[in-house]
Chain A
Amino acid sequence: MNALTNKAKAVDRRPMTWLERIYLWNIAKGMAITLRHFFKKKATIKYPEEKRPFSPVFRGTQVLNRDEEGRERCTACGLCAVACPAEAITMEAAERKPGEEHLYREEKYAARYEINMLRCIFCGLCEEACPKDAIYLSETFAPANYQRKGFIYGKPELLIPDPKTQPEEYAKAKGQH
């Protein structure tokens, strides 16, 4: 049979030489390997102090985006909830009142928007489905929690901070640490 890849290695079944049979020589060879590793650069990242930079395509916890003027982009169309294979997203729509134009970009907005992080599989389909560029997967982790209800993220957890009034928090939520 022809192998598709050339990764397979043939097993060496030659009889052991004298050096191999006395065993000590191969132990010395093994010890040389471990000693080499002793002086190698360590692969460890000291987590709380150092953080591994994520790749740009990393799919972390979701954020609800704002536009340049700080208005919410989401119009509660529900396409993300439909696209979600884990059925983690629910929302309730509401109508924008006069005088709220600086808060919501369009006439309809999400009064309630929840993602159950226990169900979310970070597939990114919500991001793809959104016609308004409102939902994004950021480059941050979903933090741990003590209770199950703590994992149901509402708008306070998801909505990205206003880039004008809170630039630091905005950057942090986007994952540029």
Chain B
Amino acid sequence: MHLLAIDWMFLVEKLVLIVVIISVSLGVAMYSTWGERKVAAYMQDRIGPNRAGPLGLLQPLADGMKLFMKEEIFPASSNKFLFLLGPCLAMLTAMMTSAVIPWSSPLKVSGHDVPLQIADVNIGILYIFGVVSMGVYGIMMGGWASNNKFSLLAAIRGASQIISYELAMGLSLIALLMLTGSLSLKTIVEQQSHGLWNVLYQPLGFIIFFICALAECNRTPFDLSEAENELNFGYHQEYSSMKLGFYLFAEYVNMFISSAIMATLFFGGYNIPYVHIADPNVAAIVGGLALFAKTVFFIFVFMWIRWTIPRFRYDQLMRLGWNALIPLALLNMVITGAVILWLKK
């Protein structure tokens, strides 16, 4: 094919997919703010938001409107460019990860397979880690550009936490990669469609990954970079209106994406065990819903944990990361390697 000839079909397909996936993840993130408040309320024997619309379902819109109407404040001595870039970067890194997640099996449109994945790259997991590690910059920029010592301290706290937990997260996945022999998320999902889900082979790996995902999303019990009550308020202390909204919203997008990644890597993605649907389009829709249900379940677990466990102290957090999770992940790796070797013999 000529180099300049554009595959229009491909372009339109991907653009539609990008718009749909981004709007779905934004929508889910929006409604997780409502869900969070409802879950919190129900666990504390309250009812939660119920004024805006039926069951309070218009609450996210009301919250968004409120954030837009708040006064924009730039601290006089802040670096305005970095100050604005921080929340954007936090949002961007949260959204970018969704590109490699296979949302469902391919749709068949007029005899042509349309994969429901923005990019099926063969380094999917590496890409995720690469993008996720950029999330640190969003936090650091926010803390640094505010020109506030407390914000900077909180940002450093957050950065060191994210970096330490990313190590354990990466190590916990290596054992999984040894099993599957592929970095592509699509391959990993397809391997789970024949046999059992990866969580049965890698329970320890899953637990470590789950704890690290909590820390990566800055969720309780690992949210001391934004501990508003016991420490000074976090790296976004100087932020107001929608800039703050972006930081908080990015947390929810992050939660949605990492739940989807967990469902994909360890819980069979869009597969439903012992269910095989012949029609590819029906299979794609049912599969997408299955992945969505698994993701929503993990979001619920994230919230459940948040309203159960108190925040870690900083030294406890570091000890858990370096003294417990990393050695456990290494142990998991050794055991998996030994078992694979033994099976080959």
A and B physically associate: yes
Taking a contact as CB atoms under 8 Å apart, the answer to whether B309 and A42 are in contact is no
Residues of A within 8 A of B305 (CB): 27, 31
**Distance (whole angstroms) from the CB of B327 to the closest CB of chain A:** 13
Taking a contact as CB atoms under 8 Å apart, the answer to whether B45 and A46 are in contact is no
Stretch at the interface among B36-44, B172-180, B232-240, B250-258: B36-44
The reply to whether the CB of B281 lies closer than 8 angstroms to some CB of chain A is no
Taking a contact as CB atoms under 8 Å apart, the answer to whether B46 and A38 are in contact is no
Residues of A within 8 A of B304 (CB): 31, 34-35
Complex: chain B residue closest to A26, CB-CB: B309
Taking a contact as CB atoms under 8 Å apart, the answer to whether B45 and A40 are in contact is yes
The reply to whether the CB of B160 lies closer than 8 angstroms to some CB of chain A is no
The reply to whether the CB of A3 lies closer than 8 angstroms to some CB of chain B is no
From 16 to 42 in chain B, residues with beta carbon under 8 angstroms from any chain A beta carbon are: 39, 42
* A16-34 near B? 1/0 per residue, CB < 8 Å: 0000000010010011011
**Residue from B43, B47, B309 in contact with A37 in the complex, judged by beta carbons closer than 8 Å:** B43
The reply to whether the CB of B50 lies closer than 8 angstroms to some CB of chain A is yes
The reply to whether the CB of B137 lies closer than 8 angstroms to some CB of chain A is no
Main secondary structure of the interface of A (DSSP, over half): helix
Please list 25 pairs of residues, one from A and one from B, whose beta carbons are closer than 8 Å in the complex, sorted by A's number. Answer: A24-B207, A27-B308, A31-B305, A31-B308, A33-B308, A34-B43, A34-B304, A34-B307, A34-B308, A35-B304, A37-B42, A37-B43, A37-B44, A38-B39, A38-B42, A38-B43, A41-B45, A42-B42, A42-B46, A43-B45, A43-B46, A44-B45, A44-B47, A46-B47, A46-B50
Report B's interface with A, CB cutoff 8 A.
Answer: 39, 42-47, 50, 207, 304-305, 307-309
CA distance A24 to B47 in the complex (A): 29
Known: A27-B308, A38-B42, A41-B45. 20 other contacts (CB 8 A): A24-B207, A27-B305, A30-B308, A31-B305, A31-B308, A33-B308, A34-B43, A34-B304, A34-B307, A34-B308, A35-B304, A37-B42, A38-B39, A42-B42, A43-B45, A43-B46, A44-B45, A44-B46, A46-B47, A46-B50
* A130-156 near B? 1/0 per residue, CB < 8 Å: 000000000000000000000000000
**Distance (whole angstroms) from the CB of B46 to the closest CB of chain A:** 5
**Distance (whole angstroms) from the CB of B53 to the closest CB of chain A:** 15
**Distance (whole angstroms) from the CB of B336 to the closest CB of chain A:** 20
